[in-house]
Structure 1
Amino acid sequence: MIKYTATTLALVLAAGAFAQTPTMAPDIAAPFNAVTPAADYIRREVMVPMRDGVKLYTVIVMKKGTANGPILLTRTVYNAGKTTARNPSQRITEILPISDAELVSDGYIRVYQDVRGRNQSEGDYVITRPLKGPLNRSATDHSTDAWDTIDWLVKNVPETNGRVAVTGSSYPGFTALMALIDPHPALKAAVPMSPMVDGWIGDDWFHNGAFRQTMLDYFTGQTATKNDEDPVAMGQRDYYAEFLSAGSVGGYIASYGLDALPGGKKLMEHPAYDSWWQGQALDKILGARPLTVPTMLVVGQWDQEDSYGAPAVYRALEPKDTGNKMLSLVIGPRRHSGVNYDGSSLGPLRFNGDTGLQFRRDVMKPFLDSHLKTGAPAFDAPPVFTYAVGADQWQRHERFPAGETVNLYLDDRFSLSLAAPAAKAAHDDYVSDPAHPVPFVPVPVDVRNRAVWSSWLVSDQRHASVRPDVVTYVSQPLKAPLQIHGQPQANLFASTSGTDSDWVVKLIDVFPEENSARPELAGLQLGIGMEIFRGRYVKGFDTPSALTPGKAERYRFLLPGVNHVIPAGHRLMVQVQSSWFPLYDRNPQTFVPNIFTAQPGDYQKAAQGVWRDTLRPSHIAIPIVGGAAAARAALAN
């Protein structure tokens, strides 16, 4: 029996005087805010108005008690709401990405915003919405939206000191660059990471004209709905077999109805580098404007999605940085967007500590502090800051490249030489068969597997070097270390029996065959820089034309930017091939006006020739620290 004291009974009787909640009252009522007074942060969701009346969903997060705080803004397609509520926690460092921890712990106000038309923002979404002008007759673009957002933030966030920086990786790296085109006066610094800059020359969609068909999943996720990923409904299949059975990339698109998506249709309608692509190239746009905002460009040495953008913007803006104080280029030993995560390793490679944290804590934060925080010490931002893979240390340089160009020639006996070839007519041949394309990783291929996709650029290239349709050249073991710093350039003289062809050139660090300390590295063929070129564009990216069968053409194209030290005892290798599948669509090797509409009968075998004689000296122009003397010390026979 329950016994009540007089006081308890009085309280019970008094409680009964209040109306009780009806039993059938709905138990899911108004939105529930799980943030309690114990939380160490404030999180606000607001709809920020743009100049055309469209409102953009924006989340503002800061530690409680923040005052006079700088704002760090990211404009994203990747769901601002979820990004700022990653865990149901009362701690600010748990709800935000790990890359924000040092900043918000030191008084930064972190802001994420859905770009127009995505997730919870109003308006229409256009992938990489062009600037106002010939391609965009509206009154708004990412530059105006950034300006309007910054203007609203500095006027409506009472905890701020009125200074703003922009950052973000991949698509948010693109929007960070767009904010620099007509920067708001309150914008004091920018850190664009792995930015999409030119989707045709070398970022997400094409590389030198070859279509990256694995990005079709991305198009579906970006345009099928306003919300997050909606991948192609092909099941858990092998991408290699799936794309091959489709007959062509156009056949694949049609089989899944992707030609109903406007974004995909635009790509198919612009296979060449026409005014539509040129009018969106951010390196060209920014290069035509003054550099007024201190900017730190960041990219990974093995960025599998956007390796082109950051170095291209650096090349465009560096001449404007007369005092070498406004512009920095940072290259780390990372995958795409890897700067925002643990950077201790990548695939089989291990580095000297967490290189991502090292950059964010020791370089990025002091850079931002110096421009945004009241009374912060000045920071001597390095003009070029790169991690020397192989030496396992960060290095500062005054320019990029820091190396001097040395030509490494393809030689007879499938070797490499510092001496130009002396033969009058020499070439190495192979047959490229579109029915059996060279895979970019061993089959089966699952690009939805993050472990495969994020590290494929450091995957062992031995699977390709043993194929008869890949021609391989390799040096003797190096006698001394060789440091490559910059972007190697392929200079390939090649012929085909067809009327079109792709050319893939890979520069590779070959590890010794024995390694008792790290057996998994023994014999590893590690890509230093690898790239593709679609032959029809040899006369000009905007003027595709048929190749002349049997005629050797010169193909010149840049490989990704690196700082790579090849130790003594390792060897250098160059591989040349004509397919890289299913990463890139197959070239029919028969010229057709638009490869998206190629028919099964257009795909034909071709006899390929890699030339290495006095008139056609195929070589890789490599930026080597120490120049010719260092090259001779390492490579002399």
Structure 2
Amino acid sequence: MKLLRSGAFLALAFALSAPAGAQNAVTPMTPDVVKSYGAVRPDADFTLREVMIPMRDGTKLYTAIVFKKGAKNAPILISRSPYNAHGDVTRTASQKITEILPAMDAEFAEDGYIRVYQDIRGMHKSEGDWVLNRPIVGPLNNSGIDEATDAYDTIDWLVKNVPESNGKVGIIGSSYLGFTSLMALINPHPALKAAVPQSPMVDGWMGDDWFHNGAFRVNSFDYMVDMSVGKGDSDAKIPRGAGDDYNAYLEAGSAGDFARKWGIETIPGVRKLMENPAYTPFWSLQAVDKWLAARPLTVPTMLVVGQWDQEDSYGAPAVYRALEPKDTANDKLSLVIGPWRHSGVNHYGYELGDVTFTGDTAHEFRVKWLKPFFDHWLKDAPDPHTPPVLTYATGVNQWEVSQKWDDAKLTPLYLGAAGSLSFTPGAAGHDDYVSDPAHPVPFMPRPLSMADRKQWTTWLVHDQRFVEDRPDVLTYKSAPLDKPIHIKGAPRVDLYAATTGTDADWVVKLIDVAPDTTPEATSQGAKPANPGFELPLGIEIFRGRYVHGFATPGAWKPGKVENVRFELPHINHVLLPGHRLMVQVQSSLFPLYDRNPQTYVANIFNAKPGDYKAATQSIQRGGATASAVLLPIVQD
């Protein structure tokens, strides 16, 4: 009887714990972990395939292929990324394709495009080893493999194995993905019919991510740590805390001391930066614009960059210069400069910081020009007559079409006595200021956090009044304008400078100053947040040791006047009547750029505390050494 009761209890317990049709009973001790969950349900409006595509050396790259159900005879649009391709196709847990993909994909997805995201080799779910901006096969790379060959092999596999495809492929992407888009143009696959590299990384020493004219960008360290640990998915961070980055970098000493303090100096990407401070073949042979200049232009290409791109302002115009002579019919190459931050073309373009525009400029561009460009080359749609050059004129808020870019006559804007600025050179003289590395000029108001996206994405449009009264910043201002001035191209700095030190950095800013009495409600174009707003049109730095050649650094002779020449970022901007032109000159922009010790040392990454010395900087004006900013002014 007791045994019967026990058996009945066990039978009842089993019945309660085992639902009808279950293969295995679930008990209170059943492990609560499953291998996966099928988030794409049968009622999803899309198909998602995840495959491993083999490269010519046997390495397999993770590739996500997604398209709306029912797609057929469809073009392929690919992006090759180091930033987690799986995440790019699963941004939201949804059954709608327009919700799982980035915002810029919406129009393509709805129109039946096959969207492809791929992890480049060595990153996230792909096999192989990651190499930062892997050099093209040649003097720096004898492996036979690069991002060009991987793009070719990927496209070859896709057109042969995606039956919904029409066999035509386009490539698009911003920043690192802009770099991989450009690489696909080197010995391109025949199926590659169009490319849109956006804010591409082209030359990391000359003016993209790592250096600008030789001055080192210290937040490059954060990128190297984040990307180099594991396969880019470790979320590794430099543990410097949440305080003011101005203090964190200043107290560490040199940029090299900062790296050593936090134990990152052995990371290969960090070593590449610290051991190669000059523009030697280590960097010059990696310049993508030089690679492309040596090859024919066969794939229709649209280069896109933001006017206030805080990361890669150099690359797109540099590639345009390299390729434009090859576009003899003016029908295969386009340059687009929009009123955006880095990668802003793919987000919302209503405003940037305190600067506002007419409508969503990014969405307008994508719908009116970007998609028709791909539709024509990938879907045989009618020719949209893509403009050779399309730029947004800030100040008056309108898109403009040009046949060529940066071909306007340069007009010198001269620095004058008593902080004046005019188109007529004045009497010879000079203005001096003391630059002290112990008190560098901040690039944004403190406290500073290089990880704060709000600070980082808008610093190039921040009101410059916060430094105007510093004694180590020279400010030159024009009289109020009596008519509009339209600047269209890259302003050039033509500075005559001397220092009591043996090295120096030179920072030049071109600024549009709004009238003190301009109400926001009636101002035109890029509206100031308040009267007197000082809007930077371009900010750039030059490390003085390279005045006689980027590959041949050398000490300055104290007191000797040298001619420093460099470009500001490319712009299209209209200064309205009543506004003033302003130029600021200073010798630090910290901690965005590392401090120049102002004592010449072989490698600034290894500068010692005693090398950092205050120096008197002298800016010449008028006469034979008339410092100026050369403006590409067009007549409307």
Q: Following TM superposition, by how much is the alpha carbon of 1:404 offset from its aligned partner in structure 2, in angstroms? A: 2.4
- Cα deviations by residue, 1:516-553 (Å, 9 ceiling, x for unpaired): 33573311111001100000000000000000100110
Q: Following TM superposition, by how much is the alpha carbon of 1:42 offset from its aligned partner in structure 2, in angstroms? A: 0.5
User: Match of 1:617, as an amino acid?
Assistant: A
Q: Distance in 1 between matches of 2:613 and 2:20?
A: 88
Q: Following TM superposition, by how much is the alpha carbon of 1:402 offset from its aligned partner in structure 2, in angstroms? A: 5.3
Matched, 1:624 2:630: no
Pairwise CA RMSD = 1.4
Out of 612, 624, 631, the position equivalent to 1:603 is 612
| Alignment gaps of 5+ in structure 2 | 1-14, 522-527
Matched, 1:468 2:477: no
Matched, 1:345 2:351: yes
Q: Which residue of 2 aligns with 1:540?
A: 549
Q: Following TM superposition, by how much is the alpha carbon of 1:19 offset from its aligned partner in structure 2, in angstroms? A: 6.0
Q: Which residue of 1 aligns with 2:9?
A: none
The size of the alignment, in residue pairs, is: 611
Q: Which residue of 1 aligns with 2:365?
A: 359
Q: Which residue of 1 aligns with 2:325?
A: 319
Q: Which residue of 2 aligns with 1:457?
A: 460
Q: Distance in 2 between matches of 1:68 and 1:236?
A: 52
Q: Following TM superposition, by how much is the alpha carbon of 1:84 offset from its aligned partner in structure 2, in angstroms? A: 0.7
- Is 1:402–1:625's contact at 8 Å kept on the other side of the alignment? no
User: Match of 1:154, as an amino acid?
Assistant: V
Q: Distance in 2 between matches of 1:111 and 1:548?
A: 56
Q: Which residue of 2 aligns with 1:104?
A: 109
- Is 2:498–2:619's contact at 8 Å kept on the other side of the alignment? yes
Q: Following TM superposition, by how much is the alpha carbon of 1:30 offset from its aligned partner in structure 2, in angstroms? A: 4.0
Q: Distance in 2 between matches of 1:333 and 1:402?
A: 20
- Is 1:430–1:470's contact at 8 Å kept on the other side of the alignment? yes
Q: Distance in 2 between matches of 1:19 and 1:46?
A: 31
Q: Distance in 2 between matches of 1:202 and 1:517?
A: 34
Q: Following TM superposition, by how much is the alpha carbon of 1:295 offset from its aligned partner in structure 2, in angstroms? A: 0.3
Q: Which residue of 1 aligns with 2:505?
A: 502
- Is 1:411–1:612's contact at 8 Å kept on the other side of the alignment? yes
Secondary structure in 1 aligned to 2:447?
coil
Q: Following TM superposition, by how much is the alpha carbon of 1:137 offset from its aligned partner in structure 2, in angstroms? A: 1.6
User: Match of 1:398, as an amino acid?
Assistant: Q
Q: Which residue of 1 aligns with 2:199?
A: 194
TM, length-normalised to structure 2: 0.94
- Cα deviations by residue, 1:537-579 (Å, 9 ceiling, x for unpaired): 0000000000010011000000000000111111000000000
Matched, 1:292 2:305: no
Q: Following TM superposition, by how much is the alpha carbon of 1:594 offset from its aligned partner in structure 2, in angstroms? A: 0.3
User: Match of 2:556, as an amino acid?
Assistant: L
Secondary structure in 2 aligned to 1:328?
strand
Secondary structure in 1 aligned to 2:172?
strand
- Is 2:497–2:619's contact at 8 Å kept on the other side of the alignment? yes
User: Match of 1:56, as an amino acid?
Assistant: L
- After TM superposition, the structure 1 = structure 2 runs for residues 239-258 of structure 1, keeping only pairs within 5 Å, are 239-258=245-264
- After TM superposition, the structure 1 = structure 2 runs for residues 95-244 of structure 1, keeping only pairs within 5 Å, are 95-228=100-233, 229-244=235-250
- After TM superposition, the structure 1 = structure 2 runs for residues 257-406 of structure 1, keeping only pairs within 5 Å, are 257-373=263-379, 375-401=380-406, 403-406=408-411
| Alignment gaps of 5+ in structure 1 | 1-11, 631-637
Q: Distance in 2 between matches of 1:224 and 1:32?
A: 28
Q: Following TM superposition, by how much is the alpha carbon of 1:616 offset from its aligned partner in structure 2, in angstroms? A: 0.5
Task: Evaluate the alpha carbon distance shift between residue 16 and residue 472 of structure 1 in structure 2; reply closer, same or farther with a 3 A threshold.
Answer: closer
- Is 2:520–2:529's contact at 8 Å kept on the other side of the alignment? no
Q: Distance in 2 between matches of 1:605 and 1:556?
A: 24
Secondary structure in 1 aligned to 2:400?
strand
- Is 1:485–1:625's contact at 8 Å kept on the other side of the alignment? yes
Give % identity: 59
Secondary structure in 1 aligned to 2:292?
helix
Task: Evaluate the alpha carbon distance shift between residue 566 and residue 16 of structure 1 in structure 2; reply closer, same or farther with a 3 A threshold.
Answer: closer
Q: Distance in 2 between matches of 1:502 and 1:303?
A: 21
Q: Distance in 2 between matches of 1:112 and 1:29?
A: 26
Q: Which residue of 1 aligns with 2:595?
A: 586
TM, length-normalised to structure 1: 0.94
Q: Distance in 2 between matches of 1:262 and 1:276?
A: 14
Matched, 1:528 2:540: no
Q: Which residue of 1 aligns with 2:3?
A: none
Secondary structure in 1 aligned to 2:298?
coil
- After TM superposition, the structure 1 = structure 2 runs for residues 407-418 of structure 1, keeping only pairs within 5 Å, are 407-418=412-423
Q: Distance in 1 between matches of 2:512 and 2:441?
A: 20
Q: Following TM superposition, by how much is the alpha carbon of 1:421 offset from its aligned partner in structure 2, in angstroms? A: 3.0
Q: Following TM superposition, by how much is the alpha carbon of 1:66 offset from its aligned partner in structure 2, in angstroms? A: 0.3
Secondary structure in 1 aligned to 2:631?
strand
Q: Following TM superposition, by how much is the alpha carbon of 1:269 offset from its aligned partner in structure 2, in angstroms? A: 1.0
Q: Following TM superposition, by how much is the alpha carbon of 1:116 offset from its aligned partner in structure 2, in angstroms? A: 0.5
Q: Following TM superposition, by how much is the alpha carbon of 1:403 offset from its aligned partner in structure 2, in angstroms? A: 3.1
After alignment, is 215-224 or 95-104 more displaced? Answer: 215-224
- Is 1:205–1:211's contact at 8 Å kept on the other side of the alignment? yes
- Is 2:520–2:531's contact at 8 Å kept on the other side of the alignment? no
